[in-house]
Amino acid sequence: MNEMDNKWIGKNTIRPDGADKVTGRAEYAADTIMPGMIWGKVLRSPHPHATIKSINTKKAEKLDGVFSVATSADCVDFPVDTPVILGIQDIRWMARNVLAKEKVLFHGHPIAAVAARTEEIAEKACELIEVDYDVHPWAIEIDDAIKPDAPILHDFIKFDGKPSNIVGTLEHKKGNIEEGFKDADIIIEKEFETAAVHQGYLETHACLVSVSPDDKTIIWSSSQGQFMVRAMTSFITGIPQSSIRAIPAEIGGGFGGKTIVYLEPVATILSKKSGRPVKMVMTREEVMRASGPTSGSKSKVKIGAKNDGKITAAQGTFYLQAGAFPGAPIRGAAGCCLAPYDIPNAHTFGYDVVSNRSKVAAYRAPGAPIGAYAVECVIDEVAEALKICPLEFRLKNAAKQGTKAVHGPTYPVMGYVETLEACLSHPHYKAPLKKLQGRGYASGFWFNAGGESSAQVNITEDGNVVVTTGHPDIGGSRASIANITAELLGIDVNRVSVLIGDTASIGFSNLTGGSRVLFASALVVTESTNQVIDILKDRASKIWNIDKEAIEWENGQARPAGDNAGKFKPLTLVELAEKATPTGGPIGAGHQVNTVGAEGGFATHICDVEVDIELGIARVIRYTAAQDVGKAIHPAYVEGQLQGGVVQGIGWALNEEYIYNKEGKLDNPGFLDYRIPVCSDLPMIDTILVEVPNPKHPQGVRGVGEVPIVPPLSAIANAIYNAIGTRFYSLPMSPPKILEKISD
Amino acid sequence: MSEVKFISPETLEQAVDAYYKSSKEGKTKILAGGTDLLVQIRSGISQPDTIIDIKNIKELKEISNDNGSYTIGAAVAGAVLDEEEDFGNNWPGVLEALRLIGSEQIQGRASLGGNLCNASPAGDSVPALIASGATVKVHGPEGERNMPIESFHAGPGKTNLKNGEIVVNFQFPKKQKCSGDAYLRMIPRTEMDIAVVGCAVNVTIENDKCVDARVALGAVAPTALLVEDASKALIGSNFEKEAVEKAALACEAACNPIDDKRGTISYRKKVSKVLFKRALEKAIERAKKG
Ligand SMILES: Cc1cc2nc3c(=O)[nH]c(=O)nc-3n(C[C@H](O)[C@H](O)[C@H](O)COP(=O)(O)OP(=O)(O)OC[C@H]3O[C@@H](n4cnc5c(N)ncnc54)[C@H](O)[C@@H]3O)c2cc1C
């Protein structure tokens, strides 16, 4: 396709979900109601760590207005020694996270649930449930969890032959690390810490579930994948997937945190037992206490370089909190951290550490910001020691097409160098700074994902188009799919309507995660649309009685390919739709495939901060994010992704943190003391969309949603150093921390 | 929440009577703007069985200016006071403190009376009210009495109101010539946050000399504080460095903060000095304008 001729791809078309959202019509999970509906509430653990000796629900069941009670005894039993893998999750842990079985492992861990006429009655009934606990010592921080006499969460998991809270490791190696450091003229090694941070989606988890007497189950819920909801609910409740219809609601933010279930299996059990539709809505406090934040971490990074600026070796060790169950995103930390660089000798190592915190869930490029934070800060120190501009230093060591990455692959065409060059030539790079202002740089990488997708493209009887895909739209996939379909068909974008199908109306589609959705769904939609065009040509060939090969599709019309084909007036999509029945019936096509060829994404950011050294406040005053976005199908949405990632990175760097009190309980379970940035905390975030198309994709698409949260942590840390000459090795760089360190 | 009785009296006497009686039988709460109360009810911190809305009582919604002495009804919303142009010219520090409360939406409801009676050590308007020298009129079963703001609180969440007493209004002294007040707070974010430290300063200047000064701190002790040693250090000075430093040290010494998720003891102490100096500068600038 010739770029210049694009009519819709690359245009900021109107969002198909816009009108509904701004007028309050959009239906989120908590908006759904059903006749006869009752309310479910969860009883949560008051202890951070205890064995459950018994649960007595009799009194709760007897309370007037109570319909059903659920505990783990109502769930399918998954023995602890047998993995049951679904994507990156293990259903053994998922089931125990949804309803605790042998032990409670964090304060707020669900133990039982009640469905009753009102939420108040359900809450009251929860208080009547008697749980007999054997309370254990607990460990919250990584250091406490890995010390020799630490309380062990899962005694059947061993490390070095002994029961341990280190529940997994991962390693990447390249070259010879010892030789590499021997070659270096300068070596810098530093240790870093980051706090656990929450995804901070505004919509709390919610669902409505109705189970009929024959087990036919309908689930309305807000998630990043209706098929994930169906599969996990099926595993945990034992109801076959074919009996479950999961309907995706509009989603009020997920950022990875809605790639697993919390409420759906519980509501399903409560509904099955009561015969009533059951609705459950978490409070913000429940979300903060019991839904996934991402890991806090401790890491150590060592980088060696020659005086000429070439990196000879790099080493990184990353300990990441998993929360109560195995599954910390160590691959993101240890795998992405060195990805932007061509380093001959490298070694990264990740440790998955459980402790008495809520189970982590995915958060935008899971683990990658943690790895990049440590590496990009050390890169800045090495560049400084060598007296080279940090961007030039990165350019000198940049990975390119053909570079063998530390995490394995040999890179295809990619645009990392272009992001560095774009920053070097951007006015921000040279803009003057005032006193107590500083500038920092950082790069970042995220793998991006492909995976299963399904699409169906149907021509309506009036000659318009309905496209159905199977992924909840979080970052603008509907608008982008409309652009692509309109482009391929050569019709006005407003004639294309894009819907998200439920699990009964579209083929299996993996969840919205890994920045995969537009990459994958554009592939299957393109294939489906091309099939539709083929059918349309076929219909025209029947009407004109000429060969299909002699027909071309252009500007939304079938026309004879040349004079030899014959002289016919072109047939429009509307005309062909009108004649669909006599020419062979309904026109439509679908495609389902496991997509491959999603290539990684790279970004480089420039950040300016100003520090109030008397109060310890660092404010971001200017920010520019350059990213290889492949091809921006809907540029405003792509910019929005970049800006959103940066905003979350700013929160992570400066103020957000899970704070635990002495009783092992989260002390800031709300948006007052868990400080995500507000608008007035932020500058306008400038974006540079570098377009190096992905050669393995028909429109050149690369995932764009996760990369932008990777560089900010270190870009900000480096900028603060540049402003005041003090380096910080621990996040968040909150005012008390900054002031304490600079007044030393 | 189960059923709640909601009363909306139109006179102070009715309100006090209902408040006194129902408090004896159960948990009763006064409702002004509700921006604290409703949040507390929702989170389960407060579970009243009777709510008395005071927004229909005329006296509590009135603003009057008697020859430069302002009286502000306890239930007047921030946004309403904001439109009272001359009040801000007289007490810019009080107004800026009130305006820091919440957002546009919150301002449509939040009152000075609610901020005071909620008795959070971090309430933003309280240090500014203390620095202004305002007093508060309360009405109860035994009649009326006046209290200086600095003796209104008994501790976090606790006031010295007696059973059945309601705050009626705030009475401001006549603003001195060449005086000015200012309020500043430290929050980690730029808005929608709770003060880690708040500081209000009110100074009067005559021939470049400080003739009167009131300094108040919030969020650094169980209640907002009037820092008399800081006033003493300033009065009689020309705001020379030594005097300002002495007053700043008095602020630091007055702090009796806690280490919590919002800030450490040492952080709050350091910040109290900084905010004092910055607020003082602002107050002096205003005082010099008249
Ligand atoms: C989003 C948000 C942001 C906020 N930001 C801030 C902030 O930045 N700074 C800050 O200080 N506060 C803040 N608050 C808290 C609150 O808005 C203020 O304390 C406000 O001034 C309370 O006034 P109100 O009229 O709404 O009080 P209400 O909620 O009606 O009452 C508060 C308490 O005082 C009692 N009360 C009220 N009036 C009287 C009276 N006349 N006599 C006796 N008792 C009475 C009530 O019974 C209740 O216990 C915020 C609140 C919200 C929801």
For the CA atoms of chain A, what is the radius of gyration? 27
Please state the ipTM of this predicted complex: 0.94
Task: Using CB atoms within 10 Å of the CB of residue A701, give its burial: 0 to 12 exposed, 13 to 18 middle, 19+ buried.
Answer: buried
Beta pairing, strands A50-56 & A103-104:
antiparallel
For A369, the 3-state DSSP assignment is helix
Q: Do B139 and B187 sit in the same domain of this protein?
A: no
Q: Give the Cα separation of A21 and A433 in Å (integer).
A: 40
- Nearest Cα neighbor of A656 from A166, A294, A186 is A294
Contact B271 A615 (CB under 8 A): yes
Report the pocket of ligand 1 as residue ranges, CB < 6 Å.
B 29-37, 39, 54, 74-75, 100-102, 106, 109-111, 113-115, 117-118, 123-124, 166-167
Domains and CATH numbers, chain A: 32-136+203-252+258-290 (3.90.1170.50), 293-448+599-743 (3.30.365.10), 450-595 (3.30.365.10)
What sign does the CA torsion over A493, A496, A497, A501 have? negative
Q: Would the CB atoms of A673 and B189 count as touching at under 8 Å? A: no
Q: CB under 8 Å to B138, separation ≥6 — which residues?
A: B144, B145, B146, B147, B161, B165, B166, B167, B168
Outline where DSSP puts E strands in A184-241: 186-194, 197-198, 206-211, 217-221
Q: Would you state the pLDDT for residue A563?
A: 84
Question: Which contiguous run of DSSP H or E holds residue B138?
Answer: strand B135-140
CB-based contact, B44 to chain A, within 8 Å: no
Find the angle CA(A688)-CA(A689)-CA(A693) to the nearest 5 degrees.
150
Residues B201 and B255 in one domain: yes
pLDDT tier at A249, thresholds 50, 70, 90: very high
Mean pLDDT throughout A426-452?
Answer: 98
pLDDT at A423: 98
Query: What confidence score (pLDDT) does residue A5 get?
Result: 80
Contact with chain B for residue A668, Cβ under 8 A:
yes
Percent of chain A residues topping a pLDDT of 90: 98
pLDDT digits (tens, 9 = 90+) for A362-383: 999 999 999 999 999 999 999 9
- The answer to whether residues B111 and B69 belong to one domain is yes
Q: How confident is the model at residue A548 (pLDDT cuts 50, 70, 90)?
A: very high
Q: Transcribe A441-480 into DSSP letters.
A: EEEEEE----EEEEEEEEE-TTS-EEEEESS--SSSHHHH
Question: What does the pLDDT read at residue A4?
Answer: 63
Output the pLDDT for position A532: 98
Q: Specify whether B152 is located in the same domain as B167.
A: yes
A292/B contact by beta carbon, under 8 A: no
For chain A, report the end-to-end CA distance as a whole number of angstroms: 61
Q: Does B248 touch chain A (CB under 8 A)?
A: no
Neighbours of B234 (CB within 10 A): 25
Q: CA-to-CA distance for A34 and A277, rounded, in angstroms? A: 7
Q: What is the per-residue pLDDT for B22?
A: 92
Q: Are residues B107 and B75 in the same domain?
A: yes
Q: What's the confidence (pLDDT) of residue B140? A: 96
Within 13 Å and on the Cβ side, how many CA atoms surround A721?
17
Give me the numbers of helices (H) and strands (E) for chain A, helices first please. Answer: 21, 32
If asked whether residues B155 and B66 sit together in one domain, one would say yes
Same domain, B82 and B109: yes
> DSSP assignment of B63-96, as one string?
EEEETTEEEEETT-BHHHHHT-HHHHHH-HHHHH
* Total number of domains constituting chain B: 3
A662 interfacial to chain B (CB closer than 8 Å): no
Is B192 found in the same domain as B258?
yes
**DSSP label at residue B196:** S
Show contacts of B60-64: CB within 8 Å, 24+ apart: B60/B12, B60/B32, B60/B113, B60/B168, B60/B169, B62/B169, B63/B87
Strand, helix or coil for residue B279: helix
Query: Can you give the residue range of the structural domain that contains B152?
Result: 58-171
Span A273-298, mean pLDDT? 98
- What confidence score (pLDDT) does residue A3 get? 56
Asked if residue B277 and residue B246 are part of one domain, the reply reads: yes
pLDDT at A394: 98
3-state secondary structure of B169: strand
Nearest by CB: A678 against B189, B262, B270:
B189
- Residue-wise DSSP of A584-635: TS--EEEEEEEE--PPPEEEEEEEEEEEETTTTEEEEEEEEEEEE-S--SSH
* pLDDT of res. A565: 85
Q: Whose CA is nearest to atom 33 of ligand 1?
A: B118
Contacts of residue B1 in chain A, CB cutoff 8 Å? 120
For the cut 70, the answer to whether the pLDDT of residue A2 exceeds it is: no
Q: Output the pLDDT for position A700.
A: 97
What residues of A are in contact with residue B270 (Cβ under 8 Å)? 739, 743
Residues 6+ apart with CB under 8 A from B24: B163
Question: What are the tens digits of pLDDT across the range A664-696?
Answer: 999 999 999 999 999 999 999 999 999 999 999
Please, which residues bridge with residue A408 across strands? Answer: none
B122 close contact with A: CB closer than 8 A? no
| Cβ atoms of residues A385 and A391 within 8 Å | no
- The count of other CB atoms within 10 Å of the CB of residue A171 is 10
CA separation for the pair A38, A33 (Å, rounded) = 10
Q: Report how far residue A164's alpha carbon sits from residue A155's, in angstroms, rounded to the nearest whole number.
A: 7
| SS3 of residue A120 by DSSP | helix
Q: Are residues B158 and B193 in the same domain?
A: no
Of all residues in chain B, the one with the smallest CA distance to A741 is B267
**Residue of chain B with shortest Cα separation from A734:** B188
Choose the closest CB to B270 out of A285, A668, A739: A739
Chain B: residue whose CA lies nearest to A657: B261
- The four Cα atoms A316, A320, A325, A326 give a dihedral, to 10 degrees, of -10
A657 contacts A732 by C-beta, under 8 angstroms: yes
Kindly determine whether residue A736 and residue B263, on different chains, have CB atoms separated by under 8 Å: yes
d(CA A625, CA A686): 6
Q: Nearest residue CA, atom 11 of ligand 1?
A: B123
Helix (H, G, I), strand (E, B), or coil: what is residue A724? helix
| Other residues' Cβ atoms within 10 Å of the Cβ of residue A353 | 31
Determine, for residues B188 and A675 on separate chains, whether the beta-carbon distance falls below 8 Å: yes
Chain A residues within an 8 Å CB radius of B194? 672-673
Mean predicted lDDT score pLDDT of chain A? 97
Closest CA to A737 of B201, B270, B161: B270
Q: What is the mean pLDDT of residues A616-626?
A: 98
pLDDT lower than 50: segments of chain B: 1
Q: Indicate the Cα dihedral angle B74, B77, B78, B80, nearest 10°.
A: -110
Overall average pLDDT of the A600-625 stretch: 98
Q: Are A370 and A709 in contact (CB under 8 A)?
A: no
Residue B86: give its domain's CATH number.
Answer: 3.30.465.10
Q: Which amino acid, B164?
A: G
Contact (CB<8Å) B267/A740? yes
Q: Answer yes or no: do A736 and B192 touch at CB < 8 A.
A: no
Query: Quick one: angle between helices A91-98 and A264-274, nearest 10?
Result: 60
* Boundary residue ending a domain (B124, B152, B171): B171
Residues A603-625 have a mean pLDDT of 98
Mean pLDDT of A70-90: 96
- The residue in chain A having the minimum alpha-carbon distance to the alpha carbon of residue B188 is A735
Global confidence as pTM: 0.97
- The reply to whether B151 and B239 lie within a common domain is no
DSSP state of A329: -
Ligand 1 atom closest to Cα of B35?
26
pLDDT the model gives residue A1: 45
CA atoms of A695 and A672, how far apart (whole Å):
46
* Element containing residue A297 per DSSP (H, E): strand A297-305
Considering the domain architecture, whether residues B195 and B210 belong to the same structural domain is answered as yes
Cα of A465 from ligand 1 centre, angstroms: 54
Report the CATH number that the domain containing residue B234 is assigned in CATH. Answer: 3.30.390.50
Comparing C-alpha atoms, which of A333, A258, A329 is closest to residue A292? A258
Chain A touched by B227 (CB under 8 Å): no
Half-sphere exposure of B237 (CA within 13 A, CB side): 18
Q: Give the model confidence (pLDDT) of B99-157 as tens digits.
A: 999 999 999 999 999 999 999 999 999 999 999 999 999 999 999 999 999 999 999 99
